[in-house]
Amino acid sequence: MAHQAERFSSFLKRELNRFLQRNTPHDEGVFISVAKIYAPERSDKAEVAISVFPEKAAKEVLKSVKKLTGEARKYLASRSRRRFIPKIIFLGEEDAERTIRLEKLLEKVKNE
């Protein structure tokens, strides 16, 4: 990946994390984060994988995140100097094993 594309991907990840933490309606104790971003250099869309802990809240949170797609794009446009902001496509994190493993670790830390 070219340097400029890497910088833009890291910008998207950082700013979308901020946006989701502030604007997504979720219960207390639910953690939302951007797991991965796939934004090819010459593409008009960016695929964003969202990770939600605990797993049982993932469907509901992902549904509410998808409703905020337009607002997320406006937020990114206000934070960027770029002329064009790609269309944002939110996806659930496909790596379910990783999610389960992290939930177990968080539970272990919580109990200690």
Split into its structural domains, the chain has a count of 1
DSSP state of 42: T
Q: Is the pLDDT of residue 79 over 60?
A: yes
Percent of the chain whose pLDDT exceeds 90: 17
Could you report the per-residue pLDDT of 44-66, keeping only the tens digit for each? 888 888 888 888 888 888 889 89
Q: What is the pTM of this model?
A: 0.75
Strands (E), 72-111: 87-92
* Domain of residue 73, CATH code: 3.30.300.20
Token digits of residue 103: 């939930």
Q: Is the pLDDT of residue 15 over 90?
A: yes
Tell me which residue range forms the domain holding 93.
3-111
Q: In what order do the strands lie in the sheet with 45-53?
A: 31-38, 45-53, 87-92
